[in-house]
Each structure stands twice: as structure tokens, then as C-alpha cells.
Amino acid sequence: MADERWGLVDDYIVDRLIGADAVLEAALHANAAAGLPAIDVSAAQGKWLHLTARMIGARRILEVGTLGGYSSIWLGRALPAGGRLTTLEIDPRHAEVARANIERAGLGDRIEVRVGAALDTLAAMRAAGEGPFDLVFIDADKPNNANYLREALAMTRPGGVILCDNVVRGGRVIDAAGDENVQGARALFDAIAAEPRLSGTAIQTVGAKGWDGLAIAIVQGVA
Ligand code: SAH
Ligand code: DHB
Ligand code: MG
């Protein structure tokens, strides 16, 4: 199904609009050297996340699923002085690689990596009255997508935005009998549809990371 032109067009987009980036390339190298899976967002998607954060003037960002911090760096770079990104990761080895990458990116003072199962961390954050966040990026274990959406919604301000990665999965999202990751994507669509406080859509993407998609939802209401 994958078309080699998808990757070539991503190369073109990076060449024209993004350019070489030693810090992000070093992060991907460090991830590979540490044996992390190459399931980071693509450069074009990373910049898209970054621009989304800037478009809404995000000062407080929450990320669920850090891996080596590649998307965290893109999002963290969108923060104004005094802004903060909290990113949640279950694997201490991933978190350690991410912290080093984030430090190298000069974002150690703005980005905090918290280790633990994200549902537990989110519950603790909610209990501690953390937030509200302006932007949430959900990109961890897919079966928990709807749970992360629920927790995120409780800590996102009206007008805030919730994004979720990998909701198309090579088109398999339309297979009602799909695997647990497909079920996770479908549960997210159902949860957005059923939640009057959210208005959402999803955009399919092709590129260096194949055929997938990102969901976006805005929290409705007056700030
Ligand atoms: N956002 C990253 C990619 C994240 S990959 C990027 O684009 O650069 C998904 C990450 O979620 C992995 O590092 C995985 O260890 C983590 N993860 C899986 N289950 C989790 C859980 N229950 N809680 C927190 N993190 C989890
Ligand atoms: C997977 C996870 C991701 O976050 C991603 O972008 C691609 C693949 C996975 O678990 O297979
Ligand atoms: Mg992803």
C-alpha cells in the first residue's frame, strides 16, 4: 500500500520548509543507539504540532507518550518564556533518553518527563489540581486513548485543543473487528462524538511514517 512518493514528498517538505536540524537529528540518533523504536512523529508532523501550539498561544502543554522526546522537543520549542510542557512515559529507559535529548535541545527548564503509567500519573495530576492545559498530545498505548481523552479533557481549558496520534492506522480504523490498537482509535472517535464539550475531526496523513492520521478536538465553552 505504501507509495515511495510519500517519503519523497516528506523529504521535499523538510527540504523547503523545515531544513536540517542538528538537535532533532541527534535525538533520533540517540534513540536508535538506545534501541528505541522509530515510532516518533515525522519531521513534517512535528513541525505541524509545533505550529498548532503557536497558533493557539499554548503556554501549558501535556503530552502522553514521550519515547525519546522527539515530539516533546517540537512542542517545547513552541512555548513562550515561562511556558511548560509535562510529558508522561511509562518506560524509565525511554524517559532517560528523552531527558538527555531534551537537555541537549536546551529545553530542560521547560519540559518535565514524568515516569509512570500515564493513567496513574494523570489521576495524580488531576487530584493535585494540575492544569489547566492549553494543548494535549496523546501518543502512547492506543487501547487507552479514550481514557487519556477523558483525563485530558478534565484538565484542558475551554478553547484548549486535544490531539491524538495514529488514529487511522493504514486505514484499519474502519475495521470494526480490528486489533486492540484499532479498537483504541475507534474508541477515541466514539468518545469525541459522544462528548458535547468537544468538537473534533481527523486528518489522514501519508508520508515518511506511512498512512495514518491525527485527530484534533477543541474544548468548547467560554474561557
Ligand atoms: N510522542 C513520541 C512517540 C511516543 S511512542 C514522539 O512522537 O516522539 C509511545 C510511547 O508511549 C512509548 O515510549 C511507550 O513506552 C509509551 N507508553 C506506552 N504505554 C504507556 C503508558 N501506559 N503510560 C505512559 N506511557 C506509555
Ligand atoms: C506505534 C505507536 C506510535 O505512536 C506511532 O506513531 C506509530 C506506531 C505503535 O505502537 O506501533
Ligand atoms: Mg504516534
Residue carrying C-alpha cell 496520534: 165
Pocket test for ligand 1, best of 139, 151, 165 (most atoms within 8 A of CB): 139
d(CA 97, CA 95): 5
Mean per-residue pLDDT for 187-205?
Answer: 98
Q: What is the pLDDT of residue 26?
A: 98
Nearest ligand for residue 141 CA: 1
Q: How far is the CA of 222 from the centre of ligand 3 (A)?
A: 30
Whether the per-residue pLDDT at 84 is higher than 80: the answer is yes
Q: Are 168 and 211 in contact (CB under 8 A)?
A: yes
| Nearest alpha carbon to residue 103 among 27, 20, 19 | 27
How far the first Cα of the chain sits from its last, in Å, is 44
Q: How many whole angstroms from 126 Cα to the centroid of ligand 3?
A: 24
Which helix (H) or strand (E) covers residue 197, if one does? none
- Ligand 1 atom closest to residue 46's alpha carbon, by position in its atom list: 7
Model confidence pLDDT, tens digit, residues 69-78? 999 999 999 9
pLDDT band (50, 70, 90) for residue 2: confident
- Best residue among 125, 141, 164 to mutate for probing ligand 1's pocket (most ligand atoms within 8 Å of CB) is 141
Compute how many other C-beta atoms are within 10 angstroms of the C-beta atom of residue 120. 11
Of the candidates 162, 159, 128, 169, the one whose C-alpha atom is nearest the C-alpha of residue 147 is 162
At 97 the pLDDT is: 99
C-alpha 75 – ligand 2 centre gap (Å): 18
pLDDT band at 223 (very low <50, low <70, confident <90, very high): low
- Ligand 2, residues at Cβ distance < 6 Å: 39, 139, 165-166
pLDDT in tens, 175-190: 999 999 999 999 999 9
Q: Tell me the pTM.
A: 0.98
